[in-house]
Amino acid sequence: MKGLLFTLPALALIVLIVFIPIVFTFYLGLFHVDLKTQSAPVFVGLKNYIKLFTDQRVYQALSNTTFFTAASVSIELILGLSFALLLNKRFRFRGLVRTSSLIPWALPTVVTALLWKWIFNDQYGIINELLFRIGLLRDYKAWLGQTNTAMFSVIAADVWKTTPFITIILLAGLQMIPAELYEQSKVDGAGSLKQFCYITLPLLVPSILVALLFRTLDAFRIFDLVYIMTGGGPGNSTETLSSYTYKTLFSFLDFGYGATLSCFTFSCILIISVVYLVFLKRGYEY
Amino acid sequence: MYHLIIICFFSCLLTCSKKTEKQTTITWAVGKDVTGAQRELVEIFQKQNPLVKVNMMEMPESATTQHDVYVTYLAARDPSIDVYSIDIIWPAEFASAGWIIPVDEYIKESEKSEFLQGPINGCTYKNKLYAIPWFTDAGLLYYRKDLVSSPPKTWQELIQVAKILQEKHNIYGFVFQAQQYEGLVCNFFEYLWSNNVTSIDDIDSPEAIHALQLIVDIIVKHKIAPESVVTYKEEESREVFTSGNAVFLRNWPYVWALAQKSIVQNKVGIAPLPHFPGGKSSACLGGWNLAISKFSKNKDVALKFVKFMTSFEAQKIYAIKGGRLPTRKAVYIDKEVNKFAPYYKELYRCFISARPRPVSPNYSKISDILQIEIHKALTQKKTAKDSLKAAKEQIKKIL
């Protein structure tokens, strides 16, 4: 009883800041609220939600978002793990390298997006210049102007920005593995590959799951990178759930449907979180 | 003793309130002041009206972002902004939402006719005028007059000339704005209208498909535009032209001043856009207008400010110092203005006949649909016919 009383203020704050807005958003989605007309909100029940499930654009956005999330998180995991293993070794200037590897993560996403927009620029971009000089490209390519390369450009920018985040979390996890385990396995005759597979990876699983949880949730809600680099194009092929929601709310002033889309994004994220948490719980049973 | 104190107290109150009663501050939300002309005009107004202070709130450069900021303020009924500068495509939307007040009663019919008809039409919703046109914009054709003797009259002519000159001088033939954003719709409408398609209901007619197919051919078949033109907005396309790398450019009047300071200065000509055989040259109407917020607490002072900014004197200063097209007909024939921009007189008929995009509260949704479908056609994800058919279906659902 005393415990509950102690946590009551914090719980009240969470209810106020988290639960009430979510419930209100769901409630708003039950109305037709179009700010362009001066009419009062009209109660339409689940009509907005039915519209959502028949909206082709939502499925396209969901597919784009899922592809983006899967691709960028997996690449970030592999790269992040490699960097973490590297940074765990002793070498000169390790402290400096560790600190500077955090710079991409520290930059505001807007700055990163503008930076990469220029890197992929067809006339003045560095990527075109480098690939042209090496001989891999015959002509300058419009990376952000073609459907098949635009998404990869955005993924590249996201990987650059958030790999340090995974690196740091995995580095912390690596440092929690007792050194004696490695020493003992050496005595038993294990090579580095066996050490990695049987000691490092299993003990790193909780950290990996935590890093993946954070990254998946963030990648699923991606907005600023896409908004600035491509604006949803070309031919709307990089539109994500968040950017479609934003457009519905602010460009079309359709707050009822926008609230519905927000709830949909929220439910997807909720499902992803639950799946991860189930794995996390199992992961701790050692 | 007490009476003395009370009398002093009340007389203090009276004098204090008298001071604050006279001084008024209004806030004006406007885009970035690149030339300093906006600040100059505000100072002139403040000098003429010593009891008024104008707080110029600079908005982000992008029109879409400005729209989103305005929506945030207006949806919350915030009275802190009195005057809004709104793009020519927003008056219908803002009026329908009840965010701006009609200004018919403050402007006489005779005064209305002193303004260009296009901008006035764009600011009119349900027969009421909701904003006063401040400066206007119209799509134009820029060309290298050192390479092209006389500007092309039809699109076919432009393609032929561009092809020849492109090979000869190793530069791009034609650049314009084809990124997936509002500017793409402006470009598209110019082709559409020049083929005599004037109603949004005919967006899937054979003439409309022919117009869209021409833009696709310009990029894909004739290759007179770089394929990266589908990522160009105004500045990217302008850069290519003013750095000497293109023969033709479709853009807004602001490029003129920049071209005179670039390496192609004195080599730039301006002309009306080409048209299809049997059609008429059509420019897309742009421009910004001043509207008064419904939630403003100083509507009369705001109106005074708006009337000043759209007066003859103010528009003349803004034309010369700010390089912006005036909305009052009289400014175009002023001697000093013509000395600064001699092309105003020649292209006056262009500006007079510039057409507005569909005036509707749902325009942003219509534009979004068109942007997506047209961009799909330009990036060859769909044929021109399929894109326009899909666009027509979706637009029908809205209207």
Question: Tell me, what's the pLDDT at A282?
Answer: 74
The nearest CA of chain B is from the CA of A252 a distance in Å of 6
Cβ pairs A/B, distance under 8 A: 83
Question: Tell me, what's the pLDDT at B257?
Answer: 78
Inter-chain CB proximity B362 and A233 less than 8 Å: no
Place of tokens 């989103």: B68
> What is the pLDDT averaged over residues A45-57?
90
The nearest CA of chain B is from the CA of A18 a distance in Å of 21
Decide: B226 and B172 in contact? Cβ < 8 Å. yes
The nearest CA of chain B is from the CA of A243 a distance in Å of 13
Inter-chain CB proximity B379 and A251 less than 8 Å: no
β-pair partners for B125: B128
Tens digit of each residue's pLDDT (9 = 90 or more) over A233-253:
788 899 999 999 999 998 888
List the single residue in B64, B231, B361 with the smallest CB-CB distance to A144: B231
Question: Tell me, what's the pLDDT at B21?
Answer: 56
> What is the pLDDT averaged over residues B169-179?
93
Statement: residue A113 has pLDDT above 90? yes
The whole-model pTM stands at 0.82
Q: CA–CA separation, A255 vs B72, rounded Å?
A: 12
> What is the pLDDT averaged over residues B91-109?
91
> What is the pLDDT averaged over residues A90-94?
89
Inter-chain CB proximity A250 and B231 less than 8 Å: no
**Chain A residues with CB inside 8 Å of B179's CB?**
145, 231, 233
> Nearest-CA residue of chain B relative to A141?
B228
Q: By percentage, how much of chain A surpasses pLDDT 90?
A: 58
**Chain A residues with CB inside 8 Å of B97's CB?**
35-38, 253
> What is the pLDDT averaged over residues A111-128?
90
Taking any CB pair shorter than 8 Å as contact, residues of chain B touching chain A are 64, 67-68, 71-72, 75, 93, 96-98, 179-181, 226-228, 230-231, 236, 239-240, 361-362, 364-365, 368, 372, 375-376, 378-379, 381-382
Tens digit of each residue's pLDDT (9 = 90 or more) over B323-359:
788 999 999 888 888 887 787 877 888 888 888 899 8
Distance of CA B237 to the CA centre of its chain: 17
The nearest CA of chain A is from the CA of B132 a distance in Å of 21
Residue A82, token pair as written in the block:
């490699």
Residue B242, token pair as written in the block:
């003013």
**Chain B residues with CB inside 8 Å of A247's CB?**
368
The nearest CA of chain B is from the CA of A39 a distance in Å of 9
Q: CA–CA separation, B82 vs B75, rounded Å?
A: 14
**Chain B residues with CB inside 8 Å of A123's CB?**
228, 236, 239-240
Statement: residue B36 has pLDDT above 90? no
**Chain B residues with CB inside 8 Å of A145's CB?**
179, 227-228, 230-231, 379
Sorting pLDDT into bands at 50, 70 and 90, what band is B25?
A: very high
Taking any CB pair shorter than 8 Å as contact, residues of chain A touching chain B are 35-38, 122-123, 140, 142, 144-147, 230-237, 247, 250-253
Sorting pLDDT into bands at 50, 70 and 90, what band is A285?
A: low
Tens digit of each residue's pLDDT (9 = 90 or more) over B207-236:
999 999 999 999 999 999 998 899 888 888
> What is the pLDDT averaged over residues A170-198?
89
Inter-chain CB proximity A37 and B96 less than 8 Å: yes
**Chain A residues with CB inside 8 Å of B364's CB?**
251-253
Q: CA–CA separation, B111 vs A241, rounded Å?
A: 48
Question: Tell me, what's the pLDDT at B11?
Answer: 64
Tens digit of each residue's pLDDT (9 = 90 or more) over B118-146:
899 999 999 999 999 999 999 999 999 99
Closest CA to B387 of B185, B227, B223: B185
> What is the pLDDT averaged over residues B362-372?
92
Inter-chain CB proximity A123 and B240 less than 8 Å: yes
Alpha-carbon torsion B77, B82, B83, B85, what sign? negative
Q: By percentage, how much of chain B surpasses pLDDT 90?
A: 65
β-pair partners for B143: B248, B269
Q: Across chain A, what does the average pLDDT equal?
A: 90
Inter-chain CB proximity A234 and B375 less than 8 Å: yes
List the single residue in B71, B231, B381 with the smallest CB-CB distance to A147: B381
Inter-chain CB proximity A142 and B230 less than 8 Å: yes
First to last CA, chain A: 32
Mutate to test the interface with A, among B219, B379, B398 (most CBs of A within 10 A): B379
Torsion of CA B216, B222, B223, B227, to 10 degrees: 10
Question: Tell me, what's the pLDDT at B15?
Answer: 57
**Chain A residues with CB inside 8 Å of B231's CB?**
122, 142, 144-145, 234
Inter-chain CB proximity A146 and B379 less than 8 Å: yes
Question: Tell me, what's the pLDDT at B341?
Answer: 79
Statement: residue B20 has pLDDT above 70? no
Q: Across chain B, what does the average pLDDT equal?
A: 90
Inter-chain CB proximity B362 and A147 less than 8 Å: no
Question: Tell me, what's the pLDDT at A283?
Answer: 63
Inter-chain CB proximity A235 and B381 less than 8 Å: yes
β-pair partners for B130: none
Query: Looking at this predicted complex, what is its ipTM?
Result: 0.77
Question: Tell me, what's the pLDDT at B12?
Answer: 61
Decide: B158 and B218 in contact? Cβ < 8 Å. no
Tens digit of each residue's pLDDT (9 = 90 or more) over B160-173:
999 999 999 999 99
Closest CA to B155 of B190, B185, B183: B190
> Environment class of residue B209 by beta-carbon count within 10 Å: exposed (0-12), middle (13-18) or buried (19+)?
buried
